[in-house]
Copies of this chain bind each other. A is one copy, B any other.
Amino acid sequence: MSSAPSPIGDDLVRVLASLANPHRLRIIAALARERAYVSGLARQLGISRALLQVHLRKLAAAGLVTASLELSEDGKAMNYYEVQPFVLTLTPEIIAAAAETLTVPDSVEQPGANR
């Protein structure tokens, strides 16, 4: 119930930014096939674990993937990631609507408040 009726501008930017990267597209692709744990996924994708962690965190921040810590049979802690079944449709009109809810860059701060 914390999901907004329609993607707020800032959220949209975050989602788009998280998708606008080759590594992260491949991560989504791999996880769409099947869930995986960090180390295994890193091997599968041929990238370092540290790098994968960063990208996973970004995807998670955008709400596109989720993590669940589990214990393997031999007691190892495994952090399994899986994609969230999203459907994102973009058109100029949809973007126009989202753009109106964009937060001001506010290099300093917002004029509103009680000022």
By a beta-carbon cutoff of 8 Å, the part of chain A in contact with chain B is 9-10, 12-13, 16-17, 19-22, 25-26, 28-29, 31-33, 83, 85-93, 95-96, 98-100, 102-103, 105
A86 contacts which chain B residues (CB < 8 A)? 90-92
Shortest Cβ distance from residue A70 to the other chain B in the assembled complex, whole angstroms? 21
The answer to whether A25 and B92 touch (CB under 8 A), given A16-B16, A20-B13, is no
Q: How far is the CA of A17 from the CA of B24 in the complex (A)?
A: 12
Q: Across the interface, do B29 and A99 meet the contact criterion of CB distance under 8 Å?
A: yes
Name the residue of chain B whose CB is nearest to the CB of A96.
B29
Q: Across the interface, do A25 and B102 meet the contact criterion of CB distance under 8 Å?
A: yes
Q: How far is the CA of A83 from the CA of B89 in the complex (A)?
A: 16
